[in-house]
């Protein structure tokens, strides 16, 4: 007996031009009965360092999110808004007439200096004791994270008005960008930082000691003064996150933090104090922290499933309650 086919097909991908920035938009095929008037929830999907927008840090989550929506509908349930997931693009082959106006869409885009946007491969490497392998400018990955967050905010400026909620999901480097975006853009109301760090200076202090030994400190040229000043002005951990009022940039947002218990590249200890304070200032149910036992610096099936379930929950809740 043939298996019953789902009424929803696999998401289709279209590359569109948003204010000069190409993005991949994934949308779910709709039945002819849908009139295209439903509100949209947009989720940006940001990949990790050394990966790209079509890679293993993004596509499993994109597919899991649409599958969760599909299964939800097959059970007779209907989310209050439709889904689009957005990332920054690997190939900039854009149809001149393409516009980001579709429902059930996921947009993907490469980070700066990654994929189709690569300018200097060495700049993506880490610190190393060996001169040949050492990337003295490793700390400048903060500029990539912050730059990608700004790209996302720029894209938000020009996407359709029917989008009623904005969110971000990021893995590793994308997780850093997710924290930055949640901190810097009040329009982004929910996010899932996966194996990412909220405190950049603490992460760099950990890495420099891990690479060069105890007592190693963040000093120029590995940590330039201008970069330190930028981090002090823009990093989530330097924000007013301890406040119990609207001056806290995270107030009113929903956040799912996913980390690996055995992660040695971005250990949860980098974010644990920050997340603990957020729990006390944001209120019950605003932030959930999951540290997966046995998981290292990787996107696990469990993290993928939790992310899809979180996104589905967002779609099913009134936007005013998110």
Q: What is the pLDDT of residue 284?
A: 75
| Span of 56-60, 93-97, 230-234 with lowest mean pLDDT | 93-97
- Topology classification of domain 13-26+39-89+103-321: Rossmann fold (3.40.50)
Average pLDDT over residues 98-103: 39
Q: What is the pLDDT of residue 82?
A: 87
Instruction: Report the share of the chain in percent with pLDDT over 90.
Output: 43
> Taking all residues of the chain, what is their mean pLDDT, rounded to a whole number?
80
Of these ranges, 26-30, 100-104, 310-314, the one predicted with the greatest mean pLDDT is 310-314
Given a cut of 60, whether residue 115 has pLDDT beyond it is: no
| Span of 14-18, 63-67, 93-97 with lowest mean pLDDT | 93-97
Q: What is the pLDDT of residue 321?
A: 53
Of these ranges, 93-102, 143-152, 266-275, the one predicted with the greatest mean pLDDT is 266-275
| Span of 37-41, 108-112, 142-146, 297-301 with lowest mean pLDDT | 108-112
Q: Work out the pLDDT band at 107, boundaries 50, 70, 90.
A: very low
Average pLDDT over residues 216-236: 91
Q: What is the pLDDT of residue 114?
A: 42
139-196, pLDDT tens digit by residue? Answer: 567 677 788 888 899 889 887 767 889 999 999 988 999 999 999 999 999 999 999 9
HEC assignment per residue over the chain: CCCCCCCCCCCEEEEEEECCEEEEEEECCCCCCCCCCCCEEEEEEECCCCCCCCCCCCHHHHHHHHHHHHHHHHCCCCCCCEEEEEEECCCCCCCCCCCCCCCCEEEEECCCCCHHHCCCHHHHCCCCCCCCCCCCCHHHHHHHHHHHHHHHHHHHHHCCCCEEEEEEEEECHHHHHHHHHHHHCCCEEEEEEECCCCCHHHHHHHHHHHHHCCCCCCCCCCCCHHHHHHHHHHCHHHCCCCCCCCCCCCCCCEEEEEEECCCCCCCCHHHHHHHHHHHHHHCCCCEEEEEECCCCCCCCHHHHHHHHHHHHHHHHCCHHHC
For the chain, the domains span 13-26+39-89+103-321
Given a cut of 60, whether residue 122 has pLDDT beyond it is: no
- For residues 57 and 287, the model is more confident at 287
């Amino acid at each position: 007996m043939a298996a019953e086919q789902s009424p929803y097909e696999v998401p289709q991908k279209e590359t569109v031009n948003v204010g000069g920035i190409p993005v991949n938009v994934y949308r779910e095929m709709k039945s002819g009965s849908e009139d295209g008037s439903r509100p949209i929830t947009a989720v940006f999907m940001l990949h990790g360092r050394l990966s790209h927008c079509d890679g293993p840090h993004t596509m499993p989550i994109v597919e899991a999110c649409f599958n969760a929506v599909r299964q939800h509908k097959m059970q007779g349930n209907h989310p209050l808004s439709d889904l689009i997931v957005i990332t920054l693009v690997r190939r900039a082959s854009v149809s001149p007439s393409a516009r980001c106006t579709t429902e059930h869409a996921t947009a993907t885009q490469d980070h700066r200096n990654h994929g189709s946007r690569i300018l200097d491969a060495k700049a993506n490497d880490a610190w190393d004791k060996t001169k040949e392998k050492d990337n003295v400018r490793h700390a400048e990955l903060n500029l990539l994270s912050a730059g990608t967050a700004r790209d996302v905010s720029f894209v938000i400026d020009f996407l359709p008005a029917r989008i009623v909620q904005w969110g971000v999901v990021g893995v590793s480097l994308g997780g850093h960008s997710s924290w930055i975006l949640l901190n810097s853009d009040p329009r982004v109301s929910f996010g899932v930082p996966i194996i990412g760090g909220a405190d950049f200076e603490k992460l760099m202090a950990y890495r420099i000691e891990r690479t060069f030994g105890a007592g190693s400190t963040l000093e120029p040229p590995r940590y330039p003064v201008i970069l330190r000043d930028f981090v002090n002005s823009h990093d989530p951990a330097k924000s007013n996150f301890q406040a119990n009022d609207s001056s806290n940039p995270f107030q009113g947002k929903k956040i799912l933090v996913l980390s690996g218990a055995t992660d040695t590249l971005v250990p949860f200890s980098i974010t644990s104090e920050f997340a603990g304070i957020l729990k006390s200032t944001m209120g019950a149910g605003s932030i959930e922290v999951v540290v997966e036992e046995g998981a290292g610096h990787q996107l696990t099936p469990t993290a993928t499933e939790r992310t899809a379930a979180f996104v589905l929950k967002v779609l099913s809740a009134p936007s005013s309650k998110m």
